């Protein structure tokens, strides 16, 4: 049986371990090798990479993609996209989503992994359609979560609908690293039996289940697994590439990757990992196993956000109460998967409920928008009383929120004038206005070198 690998070192491993601070120049020398080694794909763009390029690295994300493409002509380049949210936190109108997808493919992307935080497929439809129109592969990703309403049947149902939409593959996306080996085996098997598309498994090592789960994924017939080269693996990152290649080859799987080439890649990344450990960018704690997510059912990134938020308010002693409140808020919101932006939304509301001493005394504007239906359809029933408290006599919307949004691309392009040199610039601006504007102005001043050496963590993303 054949199994293939997606290498995540340039995106998810980079994002999960070192807050996406690896610059193009740091990894450029290994790209030709990564291109030749035989990966199914290289996950190298999307997620937080775009934001980080503009905000911290003074890099044009589009130029980064073109440069990777030039050095990797033979391996599929992959990105992560949150459907109608693209790479940000709000819904964009369809003209922007279509242009973003079109330009991503034009600049070098082969596979776009597309998901919606609520698994509301209306929010990935347009991105999937445009991806396929431009001749790229659209991988439909199902956010895996655990709740009283999420079960095998529900996931199979989502996968079947995705297949009808025309996606090229189905990915089980376990952003929190909480899928167990048994659940992985059963889910992969069920999906293989119900859809005729390649099945991909994405998980994290956070809770220590990752390696076992990927082994079970392979045994159940998964076509592709996501792994990270060993020195950037483990902890909040993916399970190690070489270890799985070794173990699965020994079990008789047919694998294109060979350990000698992988060693060269690992040897290249080791000094980068060591540098990050030395300058503090990589905290050794995130490399260890953290089983709290198994008790609290909250992903690691969300837990550290809560700790940071409570510490800032001098209320860290309330952590246990907040962690008990989190599943109650999640229930009130109809059991959304705890992935960005839902993880932040649920966490902040739970903390607010405890700190103010009264549940929903203060309700964030995001939770209000959510209850109004602006993020899509909740997986389960939302708390009707809470919804009424927020909306009064107004009815929640039942249509796809983006149907209510006016096109903005051409208008924004006009407004930007000379500041934007290309349609790609306009998209950068729409996605991250303040960061893009600063970047454009810096770019116009010749010979400016990127700021480096300092960093600060922004809100941790869970994807």
Rounded Cα distance between 81 and 100, Å, is: 10
Nearest C-alpha neighbor of 208 from the set 279, 130, 292: 292
Least distance (Å) between residue 78 CB and Co ion: 12
Strands 169-173 and 41-46, bridge-based pairing? unpaired
User: What is the closest distance, in whole angstroms, from the C-beta atom of residue 458 to Co ion in the complex?
Assistant: 17
What's the closest the beta carbon of residue 8 comes to Co ion, in angstroms? 8
Least distance from Co ion to the Cβ atom of residue 38, Å: 22
Could you tell me where the beta strands, DSSP code E, fall in 118-186?
Answer: 137-143, 169-173
**3-state DSSP assignment of residue 289:** coil
Which of 55/202 has CB closer to Co ion?
Answer: 202
Question: 175 or 225, CB closer to Co ion?
Answer: 175
Cα–Cα dist 295/347, whole Å: 16
| Gap between the Cα atoms of 455 and 93, Å rounded | 33
Angle at 128 between CA 124 and CA 130, to 5 degrees: 125
For residue 339, the 8-state DSSP code is -
Residue nearest to Co ion (CB): 12
Nearer to Co ion, 141 or 231 (CB): 141
Of the pair 233, 387, the CB lying nearest Co ion is at 233
Instruction: Compare residues 175 and 382 and give the one whose CB is closer to Co ion.
Output: 175
At closest approach, how far in Å is the CB of 196 from Co ion? 26
Contact (Cβ atoms closer than 8 angstroms) between residue 457 and residue 19: yes
Terminal CA-CA length for the chain: 30
Q: Where are the beta strands (DSSP E) in 130-248?
A: 137-143, 169-173, 199-202, 224-227
Do you find a cis peptide bond into 341, omega within 30 degrees of 0? yes
Q: How far is the CB of 9 from Co ion (least distance, A)?
A: 13
Residue among 329 and 338 whose Cβ is closer to Co ion: 338
Residue 201 or 420 having the CB closest to Co ion: 201
Partner residues linked to 171 by β-bridges: 141, 200
Which spans of this chain sit near Co ion (rule: CB under 5 A)? 12, 175
CA separation for the pair 377, 333 (Å, rounded)? 10
**Cβ proximity to Co ion, 171 vs 371, nearer residue:** 171
Residue 386 zone, left/alpha/beta (φ > 0; ψ -120 to 50; rest): alpha
Residue 406 C-beta: closest distance to Co ion, Å: 33
Pick the closer one to Co ion by CB: 123 or 206.
206
Closer Cβ to Co ion, 79 or 382, answer by number: 79
In the complex, what is the shortest distance from the CB of residue 115 to Co ion, in angstroms, rounded to a whole number? 10
**Most distant pair of Cα atoms in the chain: their distance:** 66
The values of phi and psi at residue 31, to 5°, are: -60, -40
Least distance (Å) between residue 85 CB and Co ion: 16
Host H or E run for residue 224: strand 224-227
In 3-state terms, the chain is what percent helix, strand and coil (to 5)? 50, 10, 40
Reduced to 3 states (helix: H, G, I; strand: E, B; else coil), residue 380 is coil
Cβ 385 to Co ion shortest distance, Å:
35
CA–CA separation, 401 vs 45, rounded Å? 26
């Amino acid at each position: 049986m054949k199994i293939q690998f997606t290498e995540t070192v340039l995106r998810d491993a980079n994002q999960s371990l070192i807050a996406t601070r690896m610059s193009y120049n740091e990894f450029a020398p290994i790209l030709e090798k990564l291109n030749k080694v035989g990966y199914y794909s290289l996950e190298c763009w999307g997620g937080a990479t775009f934001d980080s390029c503009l905000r911290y690295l003074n890099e044009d994300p589009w130029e980064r993609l073109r440069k990777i493409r030039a050095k990797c002509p033979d391996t599929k380049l992959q990105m992560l996209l949150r459907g109608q949210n693209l790479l940000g936190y709000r819904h964009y109108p369809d003209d922007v989503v279509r242009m973003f997808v079109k330009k991503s493919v034009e600049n070098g992307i082969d596979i776009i992994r597309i998901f919606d935080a609520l698994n509301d497929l209306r929010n990935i439809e347009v991105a999937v359609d445009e991806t396929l129109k431009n001749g790229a592969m659209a991988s439909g990703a199902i956010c895996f979560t655990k709740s009283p309403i999420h079960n095998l049947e529900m996931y199979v149902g989502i996968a079947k609908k995705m297949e009808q939409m025309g996606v090229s593959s189905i990915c089980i996306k376990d952003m929190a690293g909480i899928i167990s080996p048994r659940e992985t085996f059963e889910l992969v098997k069920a999906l293989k039996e119900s859809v005729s598309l390649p099945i991909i498994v994405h998980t994290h090592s956070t809770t220590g289940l990752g390696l076992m789960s990927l082994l079970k994924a392979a045994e159940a017939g998964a076509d592709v697994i996501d792994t990270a080269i060993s020195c950037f693996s483990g902890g909040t990152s993916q399970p190690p590439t070489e270890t799985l290649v070794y173990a699965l080859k020994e079990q008789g799987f047919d694998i294109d990757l060979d350990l000698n080439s992988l060693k060269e890649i690992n040897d290249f990344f080791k000094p980068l990992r060591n540098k990050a450990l030395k300058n503090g960018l990589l905290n050794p704690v995130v490399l260890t196993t953290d089983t709290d997510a198994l008790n609290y059912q909250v992903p690691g990134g969300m837990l550290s956000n809560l700790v940071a938020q409570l510490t800032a308010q001098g209320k860290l002693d309330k952590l246990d109460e907040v962690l008990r409140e989190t599943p109650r808020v999640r229930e009130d919101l109809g059991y959304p998967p705890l992935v960005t932006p839902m993880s932040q939304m649920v966490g902040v509301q739970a903390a607010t409920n405890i700190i103010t001493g009264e549940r929903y005394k203060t309700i964030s504007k995001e939770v209000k928008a959510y209850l109004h239906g602006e993020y899509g359809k909740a997986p389960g029933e939302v708390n009707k009383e809470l919804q009424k408290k927020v909306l009064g006599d107004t009815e929640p919307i039942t249509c796809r929120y983006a149907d209510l949004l006016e096109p903005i691309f051409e208008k924004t392009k006009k407004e930007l004038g000379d500041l934007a040199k290309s349609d790609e610039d306009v998209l950068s601006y729409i996605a991250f206005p303040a960061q893009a504007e600063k970047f454009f102005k810096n770019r116009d001043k010749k010979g400016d070198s990127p700021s480096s050496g300092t960093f600060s963590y922004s809100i941790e993303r869970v994807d």
